[in-house]
Amino acid sequence: MNINFQALGCRLNEAELETWASQFLKLGHQVTTDSGEADIVVFNSCAVTSEADRKSRQQIGRLHRKNPQAKMIVTGCHATLNSDVVKDYLGVDMVVGNDQKDDLVEKAVEQFGLTVSEIEQPIQNSLFLRGRHRAFIKVQDGCRYRCTYCIVTIARGDERSRSINDIINEINTLHQQGVQEIAITGVHVGGYGSDIDSSLTTLLAEILKQTDIPRIRLASVEPWDLPDDFFELFQNPRLMPHMHLPIQSGCDSVLKRMARRCKTEEFSHILKIAREASPLFNVTTDLIVGFPGETEDEWQQTMAYVENTGFGHMHIFSFSPREGTAAARFPDQIDKETKKERSRQMHELASRLKKIELEKNLGQTASVLWEQKINAETGSWSGYTPQYHKVVSSNHSIQEASISEVTIDQVSSDGLTLLSGSSQPEGRKDIQSFF
């Protein structure tokens, strides 16, 4: 059988696809990047916002229309929160809730009568078959906190951490198969080990000790989980100097209504330590616009805090009420036009801050993992620095999935990309996100 994998939303969803792809390959099936050629399509859905719910529904419809003969498995947060509805969507053959994801492949084999032929010889890495270069390592699932706007903790359930040995073995296997970079991901990464008497600091120390993979990243981590000595780990150059630390608001009164556990002063302290650990440490973030009750004064506090703090990239979300969350019932919901205007203001600020962050790299030598040839005629390649800044170079000696050093000469005219040499990227494409 040819299996196609699709994901919407967080990189935890992407990490789960990698696991299922590997499992299907071991059973003798094939991975295809074209859903139109697939016998089975696996879609890992998202429900972090109302818009994500809508996009999940749309994607299911698109996949069915493109290949109505394919069997479709829908899983993820949208499927979990709306299972009774999703199972009746046109084209959906099986719904797998988040609590049953570990058994998805086994359930597919049973329901669809798939043949099983264990592959004894080494198989090609599923990551490369799907056109990816960075492996996302799921280290835990679930979250014990209840931010008032968040539906994901309800969809994902209690915290569950993988053992350090399992994680180490997965990383070493991926490295042996040619993977050069991993990103640690989960619902609440900073909560790793809360259920197994361990911690994220311990996990990272063991990964650095027991693996040789060249590049190790962290995806999104809640800032309140990080002790001051955490950033000493970044003295090891294999741990990439970039973290995605969601702030959500730059106003303490709004953060209190969100039930966030980190005030702005504490967040600034964390960033100070990170930037002392590495002068070019890149901090990216999430921010919610138009949270219920957000006054003009609170909004201006947020704008000022973000400008004074500086971020290399921002994911900006307009608040959308999610049924089942406390914030959906809060009074003083913000009107659509106000949210739209505040979103515009923050996007404009984020673009200026991104360019400032990129300009700090001018004249620097950067180690880049090359991921994609973007222009065959000029020989231009794109890749990412340790700080997760996108770089474009026209060096003809570059090889895919290789790591090499380049000198950063320019920032692209759109302010989104670093350039080595005179290459300008084609079109306006935002940074690939894995947070």
Both 348 and 369 in one domain: the answer is no
Domain of 27: which CATH number?
A: 3.40.50.12160
pTM reported for the whole predicted model: 0.88
Which residue did the predictor score with more confidence, 235 or 121?
235
Is the sign of the CA dihedral 200, 227, 357, 295 positive or negative? positive
Both 208 and 315 in one domain: the answer is yes
Both 351 and 381 in one domain: the answer is no
Residue 120, in any domain of the structure:
no
Residue 433, in any domain of the structure:
no
Render pLDDT for 48-73 as a digit per residue (tens, 0 to 9): 888 899 999 999 999 999 999 999 99
Residue 432, in any domain of the structure:
no
CA distances from 359 to 284, 346, 356, 420 (A): 16, 20, 5, 13
* Residue 423, C-beta contacts closer than 8 angstroms, at least 6 positions apart: 375, 378, 380, 392, 393, 394
Render pLDDT for 340-382 as a digit per residue (tens, 0 to 9): 999 999 999 999 999 999 999 999 999 999 988 887 777 789 9
Pick the last residue of a domain from 328, 359, 390. 359
Query: 């046109």: which residue's tokens?
Result: 90
Both 380 and 344 in one domain: the answer is no
Which residue did the predictor score with more confidence, 422 or 98?
98
The C-alpha R_g of the chain, in whole angstroms, comes to 22
The CA distance from 372 to 401, in Å, is: 8
Residue 218, in any domain of the structure:
yes
Residue 229, in any domain of the structure:
yes
Mean pLDDT across 12-41:
92
Mean pLDDT across 143-151:
93
The CA distance from 435 to 317, in Å, is: 14
Q: Residue 216: phi, psi to the nearest 5?
A: -125, 125
pLDDT, mean over the chain: 91
Q: pLDDT band at residue 116, thresholds of 50, 70 and 90? A: confident
Sheet holding 181-185, edge to edge: 134-138, 181-185, 215-218
Is the sign of the CA dihedral 330, 332, 337, 338 positive or negative? negative
Domain of 325: which CATH number?
A: 3.80.30.20
CA end-to-end span of the chain: 32
What domain count does the chain have? Answer: 3
pLDDT the model gives residue 430: 42
**Per-residue H/E/C for the chain:** CEEEEEECCCHHHHHHHHHHHHHHHHCCCEECCCHHHCCEEEEEECCCCHHHHHHHHHHHHHHHHHCCCCEEEEEEHHHHHCHHHHCCCCCCCEEECHHHHHHHHHHHHHHHCCCCCCCCCCCCCHHHHCCCCEEEEECEECCCCCCCCCCHHHHHCCCEECCHHHHHHHHHHHHHCCCCEEEEECCCHHHCCCCCCCCHHHHHHHHHHHCCCCEEEECECCHHHCCHHHHHHHHCCCECCEEECCCECCCHHHHHHHCCCCCHHHHHHHHHHHHHHCCCCEEEEEEEECCCCCCHHHHHHHHHHHHHHCCCEEEEEECCCCCCCHHHHCCCCCCHHHHHHHHHHHHHHHHHHHHHHHHCCCCCEEEEEEEEEEECCCCEEEEECCCCCEEEECCCCCCCCCEEEEECCEECCCCCCEEECCCCCCCCCCCCCCC
Both 336 and 398 in one domain: the answer is no
Residue 330, in any domain of the structure:
yes
Residue 341, in any domain of the structure:
yes
Which residue did the predictor score with more confidence, 19 or 121?
19
Q: pLDDT band at residue 429, thresholds of 50, 70 and 90? A: very low
Give me 344's structure tokens. Answer: 């515009």
The CA distance from 307 to 349, in Å, is: 7
pLDDT the model gives residue 428: 40
pLDDT the model gives residue 121: 47
pLDDT the model gives residue 239: 98
Does the pLDDT value for residue 130 go beyond 70? Answer: no
Both 145 and 20 in one domain: the answer is no
Residue 435, in any domain of the structure:
no
Render pLDDT for 260-309 as a digit per residue (tens, 0 to 9): 999 999 999 999 999 999 989 999 999 999 999 999 999 999 999 999 99
Both 215 and 334 in one domain: the answer is yes
- CB atoms inside a 10 Å sphere around CB 411: 20
Both 145 and 277 in one domain: the answer is yes
Range of the domain at 52: 2-112
pLDDT the model gives residue 249: 98
Render pLDDT for 268-279 as a digit per residue (tens, 0 to 9): 999 999 999 998
Both 205 and 289 in one domain: the answer is yes
pLDDT the model gives residue 177: 86
- CB atoms inside a 10 Å sphere around CB 327: 22
Both 353 and 391 in one domain: the answer is no
* Residue 81, C-beta contacts closer than 8 angstroms, at least 6 positions apart: 47, 151, 154, 155, 324
Does the pLDDT value for residue 414 go beyond 50? Answer: yes
Of all residues in the chain, what percent carry a pLDDT higher than 90? 79
Mean pLDDT across 135-159:
92
Q: Which of 9-18, 195-204, 292-301 has the weakest average pLDDT?
A: 9-18
Mean pLDDT across 74-103:
95
pLDDT the model gives residue 126: 63
Both 94 and 36 in one domain: the answer is yes
Pick the last residue of a domain from 112, 141, 156. 112
The CA distance from 317 to 385, in Å, is: 26
CA distances from 144 to 53, 70, 341 (A): 23, 38, 34
Both 80 and 200 in one domain: the answer is no
Pick the last residue of a domain from 359, 382, 407. 359
Q: Are 189 and 139 in contact (CB under 8 A)?
A: yes
Q: Are 259 and 306 in contact (CB under 8 A)?
A: no
